[in-house]
Structure 1
Amino acid sequence: MTAIPNIWFYEKVQDEVVTAEQTAAFKAYLKGKIEAEEAATLITADVHQETLEDTTSAREINHELCNLWEFIIDVILSWPSEHLNVANLLDSISKLPHVDRTGRDSLEITMDGTGTVRDSELWQDLPRFWNLFSDYWHSLAGWPYSRPEIRAEEGANSAWTNINSFAAIVFMSGPFAGMPLLGDWGCYVVKKATKSDYEPIESHIPSAAVWLRIAGKELGHFYSTRYEGTLMWERWDGWRDEYKRISRSDIVNIDCRECAAELAALMRRSL
């Protein structure tokens, strides 16, 4: 497992993304010196204090929240070895004591699992996190079509795979397991990775692989309940057959061919 170097944290503090106290708590958590629950309390302490002050506006709180989430998303995009730790940390943050903001400005409007639209709650709903995470996901989903330089392409490939890997982990278990937004993303990636005629599948195949390795059965169940209809499994089988074809094709490199063969096998086991 690759440890996050101190210089990386130092640069985040210098850029005023997070404070030295927040990075110290985060590093202590990653090193196993404190538990996720304590890390969650320490990392959110400044934001929590602001929420208790009557003079602090929702805009100011959202600014601090976005800084915190930006830092955590940077870890997600750059350090996949820490994905489980980050998922557990977010789980702990979502379980912090509820902050009653009755009669005060809304931080964000959300829709719960029943379709009810309501104000986001601190900390249960992780206000602003999912919107920001979604912005990053959609931005990375669009990068292959701009065909950047090779060096930038490699970095974007890695970030695209990493953000999908984390989404699959959160989709599989924890307080946000089965979130429709994440399930839709997984199905999108699995589908895109089969379109060898007109899609940059070299960028999508590794991302589809992490989805099915981590949450294959959960994604298969989501697909079967989300997209009911006579053509549902016909489409799923069609994607699997396309992976088999790609695994025997010379239009992609050997790594992609091997990955496509694995995907075909994983899709069969996900039914």
Structure 2
Amino acid sequence: MSPKRFPFTREISLAVLAYLYVPVIVLIAYSFNANRTATVWTHASLDWYGRILINPSIRAAAWNSLVLAICAATAATILALMAALAMRRSFLGRGASETILNAPLILPEIVVAVATLLLFVSVGVQLGLGAMIAAHTAFCIPFAYLPIRARLEGISASYEEAAFDLYANRFRTFRRVTMPLLWPGIMAGFTLAFVTSLDDFLTSFFLAGPGTTTLPVYIFSAIRAGITPEINAISAVMLIVSVLLVSLSFFLGRLRR
């Protein structure tokens, strides 16, 4: 349909983009505010970025977030890879299995977080980093699965058939042929799962134990005392890291060689 039939299409699009991104730009700008009051601008300064680097609570929360994201993304990517390879073949219940696999993308996160909390409490699992890794792995699987599955669909079966004709067994074929071709999709899936785990708040909030506060949970707790440029600086750093990693995931997913 031609945009000429809707004269305000461009204006509406610009208004929606401004609504989405202007607050983000304002947040980043005020993270450089030297004034303690976040809403009163005085002059530009990098002091708040220096303070978040020497704050022990922020460094501990950042370390917890990093360990959690790496462990969850690694486990989710391995499970997603095995699921993608299994889904390549036809079997009874394949459609239902794929629907269950992608269920975390559809279900509200608050429902999943509360259900996971009730499950862990009922079976006696101690809340903390281990419980968060298990929960994050579960909801990160579909984020890692989709890029791997898309990459696998673009690989012709003739490569594996040629390896079999050259007397390679299944393991050697997977290691020398399938894995190198899948590598961009695997890295894209890992990056996407890493960002998803790093930015998660609800599941971490419900399952965090003593000493396992993550950055999103720390930010939520600090906001109760009021928004400061320090909080803006933490948010800006997380935003920039997330954007860079998502862009990297998109780039890796489009690699053809």
Q: TM-score, normalised by structure 1?
A: 0.24
Between structures 1 and 2, the one with greater helix share: 2
Which gives a bigger RCO, structure 1 or 2 (Cα 8 Å, sep 6+)? Answer: 2
Q: TM-score, normalised by structure 2?
A: 0.24
CA radius of gyration, larger in: 2
